[in-house]
């Protein structure tokens, strides 16, 4: 797979089912228009047919249960919609047979929507300008006046002037009313929404009383007033099971890092664990016919479990991204290390492929499978993956972000692209990663930060090279976000270990990140276990910038101009240090991109990023 093949595969999401009918969202890159094309495909009687979308993106499909109606969100994707002269809007379309009608339109974005239990109404979650800001003509030149932090949030942009609302849309009359007014309640955004016995319950965030961070809450709408059920956690994916409200998340945001799990709420708001002893990260849950199902991460896999009967529906080396349940069967979107997304029907624990979304890609683009080992580092057992290209080829060590995330048996364009460029690839899940339980996640906190994880990364890398039989000693290292931290940490503590390095969207200085990151108040304390004002020496001791003068490795620094998670000042500090000392270094900065450039940046920028990365490693390793 080469950088120019990025537009050759489809990413699937938002799978829904009704009887034997399926709808799935398919998204691909379009280099020509530099946009993402999102389409809907419906399977009926075993045949797939695409919705005619023209110059629009279709997303978030839903079936009505009592009728044959289908709903979805429509947005424009043409280049002209990005101009300041045209106001962006989102529309919810309803398809009844061959007839399609617009049932709701908003200047702003539709984040989600819910069909009422009696199917007479839609409840629509929107993100819009605040009332005092929406009528300002020159929004880009208006000075920003804000009193709370964060005033911006990565991928969401500036948030102090945005509000989350809920509209109730009458499907018979077409009239809508705002039932949750984000301006009135200072709601920044609304995530998840459920209806039970005519009462709406939703998760939302607003600034805390100190104005220092966003506080996630769960509230119910009663007599046009919001009655808060819970105010201290981090949670979404609300659902009712056995008559009680549940959510996926954390009881307290400062419990992080730990597993997100399923929580149960009593009518009084008391919260308890649904699966106290299930020591894995739960990412999505859904109830069908009184049975609770959920996706969870485990040692590089993401699997589907019947939580009611406490059994896995499948146990293979795969990543299940989404699932849909009907009275007839269970369907999943899944991928593996060398094969991108497809829709499968689960039959007796086996995957039966029923889509052809990436048949062209698989037939025409070469991908490689992995070598997998759980490596004993002497202090831990670490899941490690490699792609073997040749014993005489140089090797690139990849380090994931988070650190509470995981590499695994997942189709990852990065690994395939580097292998096709002629590099052996090695990656692992060191302590601090997801998929191995609570203690594993927390084994990098406090003074362990940069100690346990560096040991795991370097030891598993060296041992995996031996497993793969690689003789070439020219090694490169790279990573983004936390992976960028670890890359710069390793090359500053082991100056002669690598011949090439790429530090991307990195955390490099805890001290300045506290005041500039969108999560600067809170996140550092969660991992370092101390407040900077009380222990600034710890913050400096655990910052790669403190040891940057030890770096000799040729280093490319990649960063996005509008990265609010790890602001670009982090990269600028490292670049100035390296250039001042004469180290071979370059900086690649992308305008208009966020922390998520490598995953959801504009297609042209994503290709350019790959081109630069490959060029840099080849220059110093080949």
Domain of residue 554, CATH code: 3.40.50.1820
Q: pLDDT tens across 518-531, in order?
A: 999 999 999 999 99
Buried b (16+ CB within 10 A) or exposed e, 338-359: bbbbbbbbbeeeebeeebebbe
- Residue 113, burial from CB neighbour count under 10 angstroms (0-12, 13-18, 19+): buried
| Model confidence pLDDT, tens digit, residues 540-564 | 999 999 999 999 999 999 999 999 9
pLDDT score, position 85: 40
Segment 142-160 shows an average pLDDT of 96
When the pLDDT of each residue in the chain is averaged and rounded to a whole number, the result is: 96
Euclidean distance between CA atoms 551 and 555, whole angstroms? 9
Dist. CA 617–CA 331, nearest whole Å: 41
The verdict on residue 16 lying in a domain is no
pLDDT tens sequence across 331-384: 999 999 999 999 999 999 999 999 999 999 999 999 999 999 999 999 999 999
420 domain residue, yes or no: yes
Look up residue 144 and give its DSSP letter. Answer: P
How many domains is the chain partitioned into structurally?
Answer: 1
83 falls in which pLDDT band (50, 70, 90)?
very low
Residue 249 lies in a domain: no
- For 604-615, how does the pLDDT look when each residue is reduced to its tens digit (9 = 90+)? 999 999 999 999
pLDDT at 269: 82
pLDDT of residue 78: 64
pLDDT (average), residues 102-124: 97
329 domain residue, yes or no: no
Strands 330-335 and 585-590: unpaired
Task: Tell me the percentage of the chain whose pLDDT exceeds 90.
Answer: 95
In a domain, 610, yes or no: yes
274-327 tens-digit pLDDT: 999 999 999 999 999 999 999 999 999 999 999 999 999 999 999 999 999 998
Query: What is the spatial distance between Cα 295 and Cα 286, in angstroms, rounded to a whole number?
Result: 9
Query: What is the mean pLDDT of the segment spanning 408-434?
Result: 98
Long-range contact set of residues 438-443: C-beta below 8 Å, sequence gap at least 24: 438/258, 438/259, 438/279, 441/257, 441/258, 441/259, 441/404, 442/257, 442/258, 443/380
Q: Tell whether the model's pLDDT for residue 88 goes beyond 90.
A: no
Question: Range with the lowest mean pLDDT among 78-92, 111-125, 138-152?
Answer: 78-92
d(CA 345, CA 324): 10
- Whether 616 is covered by a domain: the verdict is yes
Q: How do residues 559-594 score in pLDDT, each as one tens digit? A: 999 999 999 999 999 999 999 999 999 999 999 999
Give the DSSP per-residue string, 360-413. HHHHHS-----EEEEEE-SS-EEEEEEE---TTS-EEEEE-SSSS----SS--H
Domain that holds residue 417: 368-621
Q: How far apart are CA 277 and CA 96, in angstroms?
A: 46
Tokens of 1: 């797979």
pLDDT the model gives residue 77: 87
**What is the pLDDT at residue 87?**
64
Residue 318: C-alpha distances to residues 13, 298, 428 (Å): 16, 10, 16
User: Taking CA 91 as the corner, what is the angle to CA 85 and CA 92, rounded to the nearest 5 degrees?
Assistant: 175
Q: What is the pLDDT of residue 232?
A: 86
Residue (of 435, 312, 335) closest to 383 by Cα position: 435
Indicate whether 292 belongs to any domain. Answer: no
Task: Tell me if 579 is assigned to some domain.
Answer: yes
Distance CA 353, CA 343 (A): 6
pLDDT (tens digit per residue) in 175-232 = 999 999 999 999 999 999 999 999 999 999 999 999 999 999 999 999 999 999 999 8
């Amino acid at each position: 797979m080469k950088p120019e093949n990025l537009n050759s595969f489809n990413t699937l999401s938002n799978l829904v089912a009704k009887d034997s009918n399926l709808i799935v969202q398919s998204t691909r890159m379009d280099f020509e228009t530099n946009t993402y094309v999102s389409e809907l495909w419906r399977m009926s009687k075993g045949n797939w047919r695409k919705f005619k979308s023209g110059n629009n993106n279709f997303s978030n499909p839903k079936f009505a249960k009592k009728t044959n109606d289908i709903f979805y969100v429509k947005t424009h994707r043409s280049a002209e919609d990005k101009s300041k002269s045209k106001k962006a809007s989102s529309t919810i379309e309803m398809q009844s047979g061959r007839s399609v009608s617009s049932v709701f339109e908003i200047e702003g974005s539709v984040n989600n929507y819910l069909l009422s239990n009696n199917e007479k109404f839609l409840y629509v979650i929107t993100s819009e300008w605040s009332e005092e800001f929406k009528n300002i003509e020159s929004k880009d030149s208006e000075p920003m006046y804000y009193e709370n932090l964060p005033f911006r949030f990565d991928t969401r942009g500036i948030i102090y002037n945005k509000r989350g609302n809920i509209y109730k849309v009458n499907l018979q009359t077409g009239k809508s009313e705002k039932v949750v007014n984000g301006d009135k309640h200072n709601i920044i955004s609304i995530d998840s929404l459920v209806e039970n016995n005519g009462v709406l319950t939703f998760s939302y965030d607003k600034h805390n009383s100190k104005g220092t961070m966003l506080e996630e809450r769960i509230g119910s709408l009663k007599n046009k007033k919001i009655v808060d059920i819970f105010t201290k956690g981090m949670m979404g994916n609300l659902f009712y099971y056995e008559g009680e409200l549940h959510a996926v998340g954390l009881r307290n945001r400062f419990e992080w890092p730990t597993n997100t799990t399923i929580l149960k709420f009593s009518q009084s708001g008391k919260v308890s664990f649904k699966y106290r002893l299930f020591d894995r990260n739960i990412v999505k849950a859904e109830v069908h016919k009184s049975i609770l199902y959920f996706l969870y991460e485990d040692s590089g896999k993401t699997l589907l479990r019947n939580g009611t009967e406490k059994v896995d529906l499948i146990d293979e080396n795969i990543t299940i991204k989404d699932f849909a349940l009907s009275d007839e069967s269970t369907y999943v979107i899944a991928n593996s290390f060398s094969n991108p997304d497809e829709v499968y029907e689960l039959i007796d624990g086996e995957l039966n492929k029923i889509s052809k979304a990436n048949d062209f890609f698989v037939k025409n683009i070469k991908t490689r499978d992995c070598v997998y080992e759980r490596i004993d580092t002497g202090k831990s057992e670490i899941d490690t993956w490699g792609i073997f290209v040749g014993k005489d080829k140089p090797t690139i060590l990849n380090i994931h972000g988070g650190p509470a995330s995981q590499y695994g048996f997942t189709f990852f364009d990065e690994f395939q692209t580097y292998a096709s460029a002629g590099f052996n690839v090695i990656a692992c899940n060191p302590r601090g990663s997801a998929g191995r339980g609570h203690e594993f996640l927390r084994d990098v906190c406090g003074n362990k930060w940069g100690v346990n994880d560096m040991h795991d990364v370097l030891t598993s890398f060296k041992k995996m090279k031996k497993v793969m039989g690689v003789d070439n000693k020219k090694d490169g290292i790279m990573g983004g976000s936390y992976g960028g931290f670890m890359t710069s940490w390793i090359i500053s503590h082991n100056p002669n270990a690598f011949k090439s390095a790429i530090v991307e969207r990195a955390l490099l200085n805890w001290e300045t990140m506290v005041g500039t990151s969108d999560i600067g108040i809170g996140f550092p304390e969660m991992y370092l276990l101390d407040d900077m004002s009380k222990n600034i020496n710890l913050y400096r001791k655990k910052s790669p910038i403190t040891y940057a003068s030890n770096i000799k490795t040729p280093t490319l620094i990649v960063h996005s101009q509008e990265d609010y998670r790890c602001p670009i000042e982090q990269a600028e500090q490292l670049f100035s240090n390296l250039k001042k000392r004469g180290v071979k270094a370059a900086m690649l900065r992308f305008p208009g991109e966020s922390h998520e450039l490598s995953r959801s940046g504009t297609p042209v920028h994503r290709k350019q990023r790959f081109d630069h990365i490959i060029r840099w490693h080849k220059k110093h390793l080949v």
